[in-house]
Structure 1
Amino acid sequence: MLKKNHVYSSKIKSDPLVKKMINLLMKDGKKSKAEKVLFNSLQALDKSYPGQSIYIFYSAVIAVRQDIAVRVKPKPKKRKSNNSFDIYLPRVISPIRGLSLGIRSILKSSKDRSQQSFIPLWESLSEELLQASQNKGAVVARRYSVSKLASSNKRRVHFAIRR
């Protein structure tokens, strides 16, 4: 585990995007553990790329933020219609919601990676942030697949901003 730098963590704690990441990372109200995980991952990034950890964090979050979401409309009940498949309805989402969805996808993929390869969560989170900042990895591919699905089904619905 890396040493905690109090000046480093107190300066970053006031950032609203970091607060959002900590709150989404938090489990069962244990905020201090979530802070430790995030700050250890930022320090691991800082060790590899000195002075660039916050830049990598921001570029990763911006790279995975979503503009369009897809809602699945279930297939109709058995009538005499030929449509027996699910319909994907694209919708434009607000920017704040898009950032939240992007952060959640980063956290989900890092937790999955951590469980599969038995490495600490902070280490997998730092790797996921680094890959997302370079527009690589599973999270960015998932974002592109959702936008491709939405663009292929855009004839079905007119876009409207949802909150």
Structure 2
Amino acid sequence: MGRITSSKSQMKGDPRFNSMLASKFINCLMLDGKKTTAQRVFYDALDEIAKRKEVPDQEPIEVFEAAIENIKPYIEVRSKRVGGASYQVPMQVNRSRQQSLAFRWLLGAVRDKKGRPMHLKLADELLAAYKKEGVAYTKRENTHRMADANKAFAHFAW
């Protein structure tokens, strides 16, 4: 028997911006079922982005969406066994996996930083990703670089 999962049609946008992407991110940010805490952290991070004058002409939600778009990988390597040997084969990443990898890398980068409140760390990492720098963006670049290095094994991707 398969697991029961919530469908995309069931999901609602977040309360402030009515954004499905923000709602999904809040759900991924949430720990131990504490959704209001996750919402407070997310909205405080967006308020912090708005407070800083680094991107004055952009709304904070647009900065968030652009940052996620910058982190999404378009190609990744997958391990494939061929004749007793394992090869790292570059493959295209579908849209839902791109989003989940971007969320995972962003939250991993934020949670690895210590000593500051979560909303400040999240705001820093979102601004860094918006400017195409930071830990999460570096992870994406390393993934693309590894896929490019293993281009010779692309013919194993069937």
Alpha carbons 1:90, 1:159 under 8 Å: kept: no
Normalising to structure 1: TM-score of the pair?
Answer: 0.77
- Aligned mates of 2:72, 2:154 — CA distance in 1: 22
Q: Amino acid of the residue matched to residue 122 of structure 2?
A: L
More helix by share: 1
Q: Which runs of 5+ in 1 are unaligned?
A: 1-8, 78-82
Q: Amino acid of the residue matched to residue 129 of structure 1?
A: L
1:42 paired residue number? 46
The alpha carbon displacement at 1:160 in A equals 6.0
Q: Amino acid of the residue matched to residue 40 of structure 1?
A: D
Which one has the largest radius of gyration?
1
- Aligned mates of 2:121, 2:155 — CA distance in 1: 39
The alpha carbon displacement at 1:96 in A equals 2.0
Q: Amino acid of the residue matched to residue 147 of structure 2?
A: A
2:11 paired residue number? none
Deviation digits for residues 75-131 of structure 1, max 9, x if unmatched? x97xxxxx7xx6322211111210221121111101111x2xx10111100000000
Q: Amino acid of the residue matched to residue 139 of structure 1?
A: A
2:68 paired residue number? 61
Change (3 A) 1:152 1:29: same
Query: Which aligned pairs between 1:19-38 and structure 2 lie closer than 5 A?
Result: 19-38=23-42
Identity %: 30
Q: How many residues align?
A: 142
Alpha carbons 1:57, 1:133 under 8 Å: kept: yes
1:4 paired residue number? none
Normalising to structure 2: TM-score of the pair?
Answer: 0.79
The alpha carbon displacement at 1:71 in A equals 2.1
The alpha carbon displacement at 1:52 in A equals 2.6
Alpha carbons 2:90, 2:157 under 8 Å: kept: no
Deviation digits for residues 50-91 of structure 1, max 9, x if unmatched? 5631121111001001111222458x97xxxxx7xx632221
1:105 paired residue number? 105
Alpha carbons 1:66, 1:102 under 8 Å: kept: yes
